[in-house]
Structure 1
Amino acid sequence: MLTSHRKQAILAALKRDGQVVAKTLSEVFGVSEDTIRRDLRELAVDGLLQRVHGGALPSSPAAGDFVQRQQISTDAKSAIARKAATLIAPGQVVLFDGGTTCVELARHLPPSLQATVVTHSPSVAVALVDHPGIEVVLIGGRLFKHSIVTVGAAAIEAIGHIRADTYFMGVTGVHPTEGLSTGDLEEAYVKRALVARAAEVVVLASAEKLNAASPYVIAEATAATMLVVEGDTPEAVTDPFAALGIAILRA
């Protein structure tokens, strides 16, 4: 089999099964595991999959920059944001991640809500400028222009002084065994710091993020208290998360 044909077959298996294992692929194609690992490396360089120990997972299309991500699953993000907004009670202190779904969440907060939103996202802060009852605390630091969020030591230092009721997390990958992940190392550190400062962690996960992986791990999947997913997400996809004790909320 030509290398190009083998790669297409690998991608087809990945789409069908949600993951591929190098050892199994080597047996199926009658080639060495080294050959399969080379194929996986090259496919990963092309952004077509994410390598993990022993094989590969789908690469999240949500790893693009902020402008690109605004065009992905817009209706789903709006529905997820609307449902997530119902989780915020009056008087709470909540952490909002950066990302397009969290901006939508800010826009869906009811006008009567009195609460405090702490965020490292200027986009979220601007979305709340005209909200009469929301106190906004903007975390400073170096602006990471790809995602329009602040990162770095200054951001992590400021986060360490906050105790929040809930952290609404945006990710690019959510997987029951490979955990919560994102496409930038500094963002991963900031998200990890935010996880540590909240009593509950709610992950906003549209379909393209589920069972996908990105290069930088934020935390194990069990760091999430709840996943907010699209209403038509199959139970076969959510059951592995529910088995870990993570609540599933459908939009």
Structure 2
Amino acid sequence: IMSEFGVSQDTARRDIVLLSRRGEVKRTHGGILPLDFGNKVPNFQSRLSRFTKQKTKIALEAANYFQAHHVYFVDASTILLKTCQNINLPMTIITHSLDNCTALAEENKVTVKVLSGILDHQNRFFYSTAAISELDNIALDTAFIAASGIDEHGIYLLNQEDAEIVGKAVERARRVILVAEHHKFINNSYYSICSPEKISVFITDKVLSERERAIFPESTKIQLAGELD
């Protein structure tokens, strides 16, 4: 808090106490959390407004995995939106994200295909059975996916329509790259995209515990954002 807002330790502590007394946050060892932390995934615009330095590092790390003349699926997420804003190579990107499409429209080297469907206004992605059929006819080099929850059984999203489209992209991809902050291991989400065995690379912001690492197969590369190989 001191670093993020440029305030003294006394000011940070005073603000934490005030927010806690108001019942707006819950105290934890060494900090505070939103009251709904782990129980609710905010909508797209809310997540975008909370964009952190850690997310930026993950996004820029993901950008390093794009190569010219490949075909990619890019999921609808705030991290991957930032990634899209930092690539401009001759490649094809398929997405169901309104914001990814807008960002990539500025990069004239990228061929963009937007999956058809109805716009989910809250989460800003298109969905339809036709979109799933479109993916059935495409061989993807890599699918870049995000997650709102991770556990030993799978990678999850909160929205069923979103999960169905992303899950189909995973099926059609030769390689799957997951981008997610470490705290997604404790988020509660409902709709599975795929099993952890499908993940080729996991880009995150903190070292995994032994239990968390064991969720993924040994073949999965764990890449810490901003860390050189």
Higher helix share: 1
Paired residue for 1:103?
81
Q: Pick from 181, 185, 189 the counterpart of residue 206 of structure 1.
A: 181
Q: % of aligned pairs identical?
A: 22
**Alignment TM-score, normalising by the size of structure 1:** 0.71
Q: In structure 1, what residue type is equivalent to 2:163?
A: A
Q: Is the 8 A contact 1:192 1:218 kept in 2?
A: yes
CA spacing shift, 1:243–1:166, aligned 2, 3 Å: closer
| Other structure's SS at 1:83 match | helix
Paired residue for 2:223?
249
Shift of 1:223: 1.8
* 1:127-206 alignment runs, 5 A limit: 127-175=103-151, 177-206=152-181
Q: Is the 8 A contact 1:242 1:248 kept in 2?
A: no
Distance 1:95 1:243 in 2: 23
Q: Pick from 93, 101, 106 the counterpart of residue 117 of structure 1.
A: 93
Count of matched residue positions in the alignment of Structure 1 and Structure 2: 195
- CA-based RMSD: 2.4
Paired residue for 1:52?
none
Distance 1:220 1:239 in 2: 14
Paired residue for 2:72?
94
Paired residue for 2:214?
240
Distance 2:85 2:224 in 1: 19
Q: Does 2:59 correspond to 1:81?
A: yes
Q: Is the 8 A contact 1:225 1:246 kept in 2?
A: yes
Shift of 1:250: 1.0
What are structure 2's unaligned runs of at least 5 residues? 1-25, 30-34
Q: In structure 2, what residue type is equivalent to 1:213?
A: N
Q: Is the 8 A contact 1:178 1:213 kept in 2?
A: no
Q: Pick from 190, 193, 196 the counterpart of residue 221 of structure 1.
A: 196
Shift of 1:235: 4.3
Q: In structure 2, what residue type is equivalent to 1:91?
A: H
CA spacing shift, 1:242–1:189, aligned 2, 3 Å: closer
What are structure 1's unaligned runs of at least 5 residues? 1-10, 17-45, 49-57
Q: In structure 2, what residue type is equivalent to 1:212?
A: N
Distance 1:91 1:237 in 2: 38
CA spacing shift, 1:223–1:211, aligned 2, 3 Å: farther
Q: Is the 8 A contact 1:202 1:225 kept in 2?
A: yes
